[in-house]
Each structure stands twice: as structure tokens, then as C-alpha cells.
Chains A and B, each alone.
Chain A
Amino acid sequence: MAGLGKFLVRRGLTFIPTLIGVTFIVFIIAYVIPANPVRAWAGGEKATQSAVELIKAEYHLNQPWYDQYLFLIKGLFTNSLLDPLNQVPVFTNIGNRFIVTFQLALFAFFFVVLIGLPLGIISALKRNSITDMVLRILALIFISTPIYVMAYLFIWVFFIHWNLTTLAGIPPAPHHQITHIPVIDSIITLNWGNFAEQVRRFWLPGFTLGIAAAGVLMRFTRNSFLEAYSRDSTLFLKAKGVPKGRLYRHVLKNALVPVITILALQFGGLLAGTPITETIFNLPGIGLYALQSVMYLDFPALIGVTFLYAIVFVTANLVADILYALVDPRVRF
């Protein structure tokens, strides 16, 4: 396992320049802000010049760029960057909303695995048959359909016609908070009433968000399975006369190794893909917060959210890399 330790250190070291780079890009985004938001924050056209100057000074907007950069980075890391709309630190605002986004991604991930894995395996087992063709076309349709079209189709079917979900508000979290993710807490504390409420509110957005990723996973699983099937080891097992069921179990084991690592990447992708879903289903998560901050020219919030997304995404990539190194020693080189 010496190789693994070395790999982790090296992988961790490349993490640092990326993080610094991320702060630079975030800063550039903040720097090209048009000049008028200050007036908007101060209260629109009627704002006095002194109020505008005060806000400019507060956000260091009248300082040279390196000072602005340091102010921004300090603000991001110490959570002292205030959201000009409600004067609350940006990451405090984000904290509560991130729970909603995380729960949404969790539901989506559940559907990704539930749909993508079995259908991908079936498609590979029945390769080049009618079933396979239908499943492959289905996967392609999942991938090609924009989330906003899929969402309205589902809302029409499941909300307007069958009324199987709710679209307003979010259910309260259970009393005992352990992980702070409501749906997990309600399972741990055996609070089934709350669990049902959470599921009723979140299953449709999760399903919608997950369906495209499920299509990707179906294709990936199928290819991975066929790749594992065409290896020499499979030929050997066949020659040895191993029955089909056991043969497939061996192949499946080999095929699922890359699939597990892609799942970590997909979870990062699901977390990042929430803005459209949250807008349509009216969920107060960080994606919606980002969009609202765009609408209200609330750039500190936008920068905070963008930074958080980058951190989450980079971490997901890191986890995927580590998982891959754990299951496949060859990549540690």
C-alpha cells in the first residue's frame, strides 16, 4: 500500500494549485462586474452618492485589483463576505440551501443507480437483440432530452394528472438532527411520517434530475460489461466450461470497477446540475440562490456559490480518482 500513500500525497498536491486557480477565476468574474450594481445595492436610482461611496468602500471596489483580490479571498475563507441583500455572510446563507441541494442530488443519485445500472446490465446481457436496441434508444433519448422539457412532461403526468407529488414549500426537518440531511435523519430516527413527506416532495425533482445521468450510466455500464466480456479471462472461463450464470458473475465483477468510479463523478455532476431543476420545482437550494443572485445583481452571493460549486466538484473528482486508485492499483503508476 506504499504506492497508494504516495499517490494520495501527489494527488493532494495538485489539488492546491487548482484551488488557487479557482479563486483567481472567481476573482476575474467578480472583477468584470459592471459598475452599476453598487447603485442597485444602495437602493436604486434614488440612492445618495454618499451611500454609494460607503458601499464601494465596504466592498473595496475603489481599491486596486490586488487589494480587491485579497479582500475577496479573505471574505471567502473566513466567511466575512456579506450578502448585500440581507447583510448575512454569504456562506451562512448558502449553508441552509446546500442541504436542500444535497438532498435533491441524493434522490437523483438513487434513481440514477436504480435505473442506470440494471438497464445497462440487461442491455449488455441481451446485446444486439431487440431489447438491447430499445434500451439503447431509451438511453439516447434520456441523454438528449433537456431537463426542462422532461420536467414539464413529468409535472403534467405526475402532478397535474395523478397528483403524486407536491410542488410548494419544503417539509420541515425531523426534530432529532444527526446528519442534518432531513431524509437521512428521518430514516435514522425511524420517523416514517416525515420520511414520507420528504419523499413526496423530492422524488419527482430527483427523478427528473437523475434521468439524463441514468442514460449516461446505462451506456457506460453496457460498454464496460462488453469490454470485460471480451477479455481473455472470460475466454478461459468459457473454455473451462463454467456455466453461464457464474461466468456473467465474474464478468460483472470486473465490469463494475470502472462503474463505481464513474458514480462518484456523477454525484458531483448531479450536485452541479441543480439550478434548472430547482427553478422548475421551486426548491430553495444553492442553484436557485445563484440564479436569484444573478437576477438581483447580488454578485458576492454569485461568487460564493460559484466558489462552493467548484470546491464540491473538485472534491468529487478527487474522490473518484482515489476510488479508482483503490480498486485498480495500475493507475497509481
Chain B
Amino acid sequence: MGDGTKEPKESYEEREEYEMSILDRISDKLIDGLAVFINLFKKDWRRRNQSKIQEWKLMAYALNRSPPALLGLVIVVVYIFFGIVGPYLASWPYDFFPVMYNSTSKLAPPGTNVFLNVTMVKNWHVIHYTTTVHYSIGSDLFGRDLLSVLLAGARTALVLDVFIIMIGPTFGIMLGLIAGYHGGAVDETIMRITDMFLAFPGLILAIALSAVLPGRIQNFLNYHAFAQTLVLKLFALQPRDVNNLGKLLAVFVALIIVWWPGYTRITRGSTLTERENLYVEAARAIGLPSRTIMFKHILPNIIGPILVMITMDFGGVILTEAGLSFLGLGAVPPIPDWGNLINQGAQYFPQAWWLVAFPGIVIVTVVLGWNLLGDGLRDILDPRTRRSMEFKVKKKGAAGGESNA
């Protein structure tokens, strides 16, 4: 777009003029880069999907013109960044308990310095050293620096968040597509099973499941060394915490079980109306397999509202997960977890207000970010509102009008 006309083959296309801001240029570059990247794996992808790339650019322009959605995007990007590198940025490891060496480090208020005389065993050697811990935003029950635990907890939150959303809704969408497309007995069976799960309030089912599952999961992990290492790596935990993984993963499994049925119901509903369209009938007439029709033809047409729901549920998972660990069901110390920090602070409220306030602010910010982004996406993915936004974007007097793209 704009001045960056490096591809001569695009020039035959009628060009629309937009007022470009710096953000638009950046997003253009990003999308072009993405297209080049995909082109590496799929031959000729870029040339054949030019209209798709154009549409993506227009979506990015709409996003750039919606400040709340941009704010949400920034928050989400920061959250993902800290979720990936957080544990390595933390100045103190999450499993180092200063309270063992100096009891004043327990629930130290923000801004205090605590002197430690550490004696510990490392690699079969007893080592002595002295150090000072600066608690910029206070410490928790074990004298851990709250900032470090928050950073490390970002990983726990992100991994749970991403994997729950990757598995639960995907499963739900697939079932919904199958039920809506095939109809009849298949539909009836799937929907009755979905109704059974929808009958339970999410939080209650999650509480019940995370109460009964830990034993089984811990057993499974103890017998599968590979799964054990994988989970430890994912959550950036030390090998000695392996016995605490059962409770953490119980929440994970519980939330997956809670999170799929809603998507099945929504997907089925929109599939039912979508499959009546002529293009589906045409695809069936030329003999395409149902799998292709469902996933390549129907799904892209109904994915918009579902994507919005997924975005908002990223926040919802964080809320529920932190709620469960607040109730003492999910992650247990020393595993760093935001909800668990609030649980510790709640027992000493209001003396240890920082243990409720700072994790609380972090959770609210992240959830707000996802919700803002979801709200913005709703406007952007809805073709009607997007078109109205594009009108505002267009330069006055530009040739061509709003013909294609």
C-alpha cells in the first residue's frame, strides 16, 4: 500500500487511497512480512491470496483507529511477553524462601530491605553467603519478593490460559460443526451430551473436578517421565516441585472440561444457518468431502463471533483459574500463581494489603486487556461496522470509491 510499491504484479489492481498513520504503515509491514513467511511454506500462496491480505490490512486499519482495542492489544502483548520471559526476568527464584533465614522477611511491606544470612546445601556442598533483599512491592508469607513471584506467575497464567483455550474451544467448535452439519441423530446425541455439561455452573464443576482429579493426574505424571519434564519446562518450574503438579494440572483439565460446551452450542447454531447457503450445496454437488466443506468452507464464514468469544475467554480463563487458586484448589506454593498470592494476602488482610492489591491490579489489567481487544475485534470482524470505519479512513476525493477488497 501507499508508497511501498515494490511488487509490480500488483499494480494492475485498482488502488484505494487511505490516510496512513505510522501505525498503519507498521501493520502493513507486519502483514506483508507474515505473507512472505507463509509463502515460504505454501508455494504461490501470496499471489493467490492477495484479496485476503488486502482484507487483513483493512482490518488492521480499523484496529488502528479504535483506541480501546489498541490499548487492549498492547496489554495483551505485554502479558504474553512477560508470560514468556517473566520467570527469567524475576530477580529472585520463586523457590527461594528468605523466611528460612530471616523471619522479618515474612510479609515485609513495600520498600523494605531485609538482610539475609543464607546457609544452604547446593550440589552436596554447604554454602554460606549474605545478601540483602529489596522488597519493592512487599513480600509474601515465605518472604519471597512479590514482584519476582508476579513475574514468575505470569508464566503459570499464560501457559494455563493458552493451552486451555487451545484445547477446550477447539474441541467444542469441532463437535459443534459436526452436529450442525450432519444434523439428525448425530446432532441430537452431541447436543444432549453438551446440555449435560452445560447444566453445571462452570465454577462449581471446576471446583468439583479440581477436588477429585489431582490424585489421578499425579499418578499419571509419576509414571510418565516425559510428560513430567514437559510440564516442568512449560511452567518453568524446578524438578523438586514435581509433586505439586497434580493440583495445578487438575485445574487445567477441569477448565478444559468446563470450557468446551459453550462453543459447541454456538458453533452448532451458526452452522445450522450457514449450511443452508447455496455455496455449501454447490460444494456438496461437486463432491467435496464433508470434512473439507465443514472446515474449509463453513468454518471461515462463521468464525468471526467465535473469535471474539475466544478472545474474551482468554480473560475468563485467567479469572476462573485465579479464582480457583484463591480458593486453595489450583496451584499451591511454591508454584507462583496470582490467585494464590491473593489467597495468602486474604488471611492477613488488611495488614498485608499489598498481597491483595498488586496481584489484583495485575489480574484486572490483563483481563481488561483481553476484554477490550475482544470488544474491538467484534467491531472489526463484523463486515458492516468495518465498512463504516473504512469510509472514515478514506482520503477525500480518492479515485475508485469503495469498489472491491
Contact = CB atoms under 8 A, between A and B. Distances in A.
Interface stretch (B89-97, B287-295, B349-357): B349-357
Given A29-B209, A144-B367, A309 B204 contact: yes
B350 A160 contact: yes
Interface stretch (B22-30, B193-201, B267-275, B392-400): B193-201
Contacts of B193: 21
A276 B323 contact: yes
Sorting the interface of chain A by its residue count into under 10, 10 to 19, 20 to 34 or 35 or more gives: 35 or more
Contacts of A75: none
Nearest to B368: A144
B315 A149 contact: no
Interface string A297-308: 001001101100
A143 B315 CA distance: 10
A214 B184 CA distance: 39
Interface in A285-320: 290-291, 294-295, 299, 302-303, 305-306, 309-310, 313-314, 317
Interface stretch (B125-133, B167-175, B212-220): B212-220
B372 A294 contact: no
B216 A32 contact: yes
A18 interface: yes
Q: Name the prevailing secondary structure of the A interface residues.
A: helix
Interface in A201-232: none
Contacts of B326: 146, 148, 276
A275 B196 contact: no
A152 B349 contact: yes
Interface in B325-369: 326-329, 339, 342, 345-346, 349-350, 353, 356, 360, 363-364, 367-368
Contacts of B209: 29
B242 interface: no
Interface in A137-163: 140-141, 143-149, 152-153, 155-156, 160
A8 interface: no
Contact of B364 (A25, A146, A314): A146
Interface size, B (range): 35 or more
Contact of A25 (B196, B342, B363, B372): B196
A273 interface: yes
Nearest to B367: A144
B327 A275 contact: yes
B203 A140 contact: no
A14 interface: yes
Contacts of A313: 199-201
B152 interface: no
Given A272-B201, A306-B200, A309-B201, 19 more contacts: A19-B199, A21-B192, A21-B193, A24-B196, A34-B214, A144-B364, A146-B363, A148-B339, A152-B349, A152-B360, A268-B201, A271-B201, A272-B203, A275-B203, A290-B204, A302-B212, A310-B204, A313-B201, A314-B199
